[in-house]
Chains A and B, each alone.
Chain A
Amino acid sequence: MKMMMGSSFPEEVLEHVFSFIERDKDRNAISTVCQSWYEIERWSRRRVFVGNCYAVSPAILIKRFPDVRCLELKGKPHFADFNLVPEGWGAYVAPWIAAASSAYPWLEEIRLKRMVIPDDSLELISKSFKNFKVLVLSSCEGFSTEGLAAIAANCRNLRELDLRESEVEDLNQSSGHWLSHFPDNYTSLVSLNIACLNSEVSFTALERLVGRCPNLRTLRLNRAVPLDRLAILLHRAPQLVELGTGEASDLRPDVLSNLLGAFSRCKELKSLSGFWDVAPGYLTGVYPICPRLTSLNLSYAATIQSSDLIKLVSQCQNLQKLWVLDYIEDLGLEALAASCKDLRELRVFPSEPFGVEPNVLLTEQGLVSVSEGCPKLHSVLYFCRQMSNDALRTIARNRPNMTRFRLCIIEPRTPDYLTLESLDMGFGAIVEHCNDLRRLSLSGLLTDRVFEYIGTYGKKLEMLSVAFAGDSDLGLHHILSGCENLRKLEIRDCPFGDKALLANAAKLETMRSLWMSSCSVSFGACKLLGQKMPMLNVEVIDERGPPDSRPESCPVEKLYIYRTVSGPRLDMPGFVWTKDEDSALGLS
């Protein structure tokens, strides 16, 4: 790199200064100062986050940033988690891995979310990047234990292998044995999360692996590792900080006492998860470490009822994060509020989401208690069956520091159970009082008015999820015209149509993406939007067949709009329609 004539500092100095600047936003800002800063910055950018893999192409990325070491990509829209995106929609990572394999030989970290990654790509990763250290696959699919075997065999410097909630195919041939592909002299593992694997892993291989990796901090086992083997692993790795257990259905006193012994040696243990089918008696084994726990995930433990949960959480004075089933009930949440003053994040999942009648005594009161008792609570995901405006107002006033608030009242369009009114005022209070709110999910009976509140007060809102709400286009208009920082908007089953969308078309370029399904947006409007906005991909997802076989006024099934600099994608399946590259009016 040559020295630029007339610049105040040599490039090396600038580069050194830039090395202290890590956040994307800051690096983006410095890159716009002038040409030479742009150049220096792009050569020294090591970490890149692509929030939508179709917003940019591998070629464009590589051209701008020639020496990336950490790459993070996200693929399918969030609603794919709930089966709203048909199989085969896209988010294939293979082209990215192929491009990176030649362009970034020093790549160290790959993090993917909601993407499809085949075994071939895993093998390519394992062979292309000599210094590869971190692989995180969050809600991904398309690969099998064969691919994992390649990673194990070839990545000599691997530190982290995290398969969070991915769908992994277990091939009978290598079932459980992929772990034994880690060579005997491999000792650098720091974090292993295989909780999502359905089949057994070879316990011998696991034990040996754990035993020879002195830096292992995180170990999340899958269901198939029985509790009686856990103690053995803990003896080999007393330095563990985060542990996920396997299944634990039969209560045996010898196993319990072994466990107690093993836990007492794990002085660093701060985070627990797992507990599938756990016999409640085993919980006493956890009591000794409760005071040290900062994170507890009991959301798979459908066998633990309220009284045992109360006994457990009451001992976790340092708890910061709790994920639990609604078996905890209002009483348990009161106990939580009383004991866990450092709580920051709470997620309560439904044990019987499809039941008509409530099966547990969990109401809005539980959430109100926690909001009162836990001053640091800022992130909430709460499934329940009843809510009131009063409760929401109280929560809002108690916790103005709320940053993420996701409420799911299970029955769509449920009104305030006390007044039978809509919940507009309640959610209005949330956005009004919680000035730092970045993420919000709505539910219950809601009119256009709630969107007026959100548009007025939700100035920091970045992500909004809406379902079965609103009366008219006015609702959508309020959101799009009011929420200045909105990045992601996902809507289902709302009477929002063409008007608000077209009037706020420019807004869509300031956002990452918009999802609308089962709404009233016509195919004609989609075509128009696609024609007029070259920087947007307007994807119509419709499994009923070609949209132009129906009148243009006919609403589309699903709509996914996102900004992009790489034009329409080339890997669309048969049920996705978008504008033709050549003709604005044609369809691909």
Chain B
Amino acid sequence: MELQLGLALPSNPTSKAFDLNYYGIEANSKEVDHVIGPCYTPSYENINDIINIDNNNNNKRSFGQAFENSTRDRVVPRTLPLLLWNNNRPNEEDDPKDLENHSLFAANKNVGDGDGVVGWPPIKSWRKRLCHENQVVRAWNNNLMVENGYVCGGRRASNSMYVKVKMEGVVIARKVDLSQHHSFETLTDTLMDMFRKWSEACEKNSNNYKLIYQDREGDWLFAQDVPWRTFIRSVQRLKLLKSSG
């Protein structure tokens, strides 16, 4: 038996799906709609009320009894009487192509160059880094052409390599996709841009910050001291330090 609320489709709020742990709070006394049907499934709301009712001599009570005592205080979430779902296919006018024009999945597809899709395939960052490292190492070993940090030869450009970046003095860290960069210049420019949005104290002049990175051994090194290739192979993390002079 389902609780019928408005025009919305009967959903099935079984108590199984609920973690009753967190609903042991006092019922609100706000005015709410009392949409009570003759057929009623005990849901979490009236269980709350059972919990909050003073215990009388009778420890056992029926749900119906408890329910009657508590109608005044129960909060029933109102489903939206917004849509009556017809089981027919949606209108032909809803051309799926139209969705693409004002939806975002076209826009979100491109992260920088190439066909890169953020977060796809669904592999954790550290696994991706591992893959990337192995790819570069194998390429070196096989004397394949390694240009600008990419292994050439049929590889897609979307080889995203996110590392964390912290700027000295800024609370929130950011992540940057190193696969989109081929030189320290473009990287520092991007980083300064990134932090400009989030830090008021950030000075526009990138000369005031020095870029350091943590390598695979855990050591922190100045990025400008090494060639880009060395950097990209072993970088784990980045930091922007205020330079004193």
Contacts and interface: CB of A to CB of B under 8 A. Distances in A.
Given A224-B218, A356-B156, A82 B123 contact: yes
A60 B48 CA distance: 14
A303 B137 CA distance: 11
B135 to A, nearest CB: 7
A503 B82 contact: yes
Interface string A347-362: 0011111111100000
Given A165-B126, A354-B159, A60 B25 contact: yes
Contacts of A79: 119
Interface stretch (B54-62, B203-211, B222-230): B54-62
Contact of B131 (A224, A351, A519): A351
A510 interface: yes
A167 B155 contact: no
B79 interface: yes
Contact of A504 (B11, B16, B19): B11
A23 interface: no
A509 interface: yes
A503 B5 CA distance: 11
Contacts of B103: 495, 518-520, 555
Nearest to A492: B119
A354 B155 CA distance: 7
B172 to A, nearest CB: 4
A555 B101 CA distance: 11
Contacts, number: 248
Interface string A144-160: 00000000000000000
A214 interface: no
Given A60-B25, A84-B118, A356-B155, A51 B19 contact: yes
Interface string A512-546: 00000111100000001100111100000000000
Interface string A27-70: 01101111110100010000010110001100011001100000
Contact of B21 (A48, A176, A473, A477): A48
Contacts of A38: 24, 51
A83 B117 contact: no
Nearest to B24: A64
B245 interface: no
Contacts of B14: 484-485, 510
Nearest to B82: A502
Interface residues of B, number: 83
B1 interface: no
For chain A, the bracket of interface size reads 35 or more
Interface of B (DSSP majority class) = loop
Contact of A506 (B11, B47, B174, B216): B11
B175 interface: yes
A224 B102 CA distance: 49
Contacts of A518: 103-105, 108
Interface stretch (A97-105, A126-134, A194-202): A194-202
B96 A471 contact: yes
Nearest to A574: B198
Contact of B121 (A383, A485, A556): A383
Interface string B104-134: 1100100000000111111111111011001
21 contacts: A29-B20, A34-B60, A35-B51, A48-B21, A56-B22, A87-B175, A170-B218, A172-B219, A199-B218, A224-B218, A353-B121, A355-B154, A383-B121, A484-B17, A493-B105, A510-B11, A517-B108, A519-B104, A533-B78, A565-B22, A573-B172
Given A35-B51, A60-B22, 6 more contacts: A28-B21, A60-B25, A88-B172, A349-B123, A351-B134, A506-B77
Complex A-B, nearest 4 residue pairs according to Cβ-Cβ distance, in ascending order: A199-B218, A82-B119, A28-B20, A35-B55
Interface of B: 5, 8-9, 11-14, 16-25, 47, 50-51, 53-55, 57, 59-61, 75, 77-80, 82-85, 89-90, 94, 96, 99-100, 102-105, 108, 117-128, 130-131, 134-135, 154-156, 158-160, 162, 164, 172-175, 214, 216-220, 236-237
